[in-house]
C-alpha cells in the first residue's frame, strides 16, 4: 500500500468542510433556541417584567419548526435531538411562567 498525499489532502479537505458545516448548523440551532431564554428567566426570577416581542418568538419558532422538518426529512439525528430538547426546555420554562 502506498501513501498518496493528494488522496489524503482531498479526504481532509472534504471531511473538514463537512464537519465545520455541521458544527455551524448545530451551533445556529442552539443559539436560536437560546434567544428567548434570557427574557423568560428574567420574568421567572423577577429581574425583568418585559416579555420578548411576539413577532420575534413567532418567527424564531417557525424557523425552528422548519429546520426540524428538514432534519426529519434528512434523518439528521443530532439536529432532531437538539431541536426537540430545546422545544422541551422552552415549553417547561413557559409552563413555569403560566403556572407560577
Residues 54-69: tens digit of each pLDDT: 888 888 888 888 889 9
Range of the domain at 12: 5-98
Against a cut of 0.95, is the pTM above it? no
Label residue 72 by pLDDT band (50, 70, 90).
Answer: very high
Label residue 13 by pLDDT band (50, 70, 90).
Answer: confident
CA atoms within 13 A on the CB side of 17: 5
- Number of folded domains in the chain? 1
CA 26 to chain centre: 6
Least Cα distance to 87 among 64, 69, 54, 66 occurs for: 64
At 21-45, the pLDDT tens digits run 778 888 888 888 888 888 888 888 8
Amino acid at each position: 500500500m502506498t501513501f498518496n498525499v493528494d488522496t489524503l489532502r482531498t479526504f481532509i479537505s472534504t471531511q473538514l468542510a463537512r464537519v465545520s458545516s455541521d458544527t455551524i448548523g448545530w451551533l445556529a440551532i442552539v443559539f436560536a433556541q437560546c434567544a428567548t431564554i434570557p427574557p423568560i428567566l428574567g420574568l421567572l426570577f423577577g429581574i425583568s417584567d418585559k416579555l420578548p416581542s411576539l413577532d420575534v418568538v413567532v418567527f424564531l419558532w417557525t424557523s425552528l419548526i422548519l429546520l426540524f422538518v428538514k432534519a426529519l426529512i434528512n434523518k439528521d439525528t443530532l439536529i432532531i435531538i437538539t431541536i426537540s430538547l430545546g422545544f422541551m426546555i422552552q415549553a417547561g420554562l413557559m409552563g413555569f411562567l403560566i403556572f407560577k
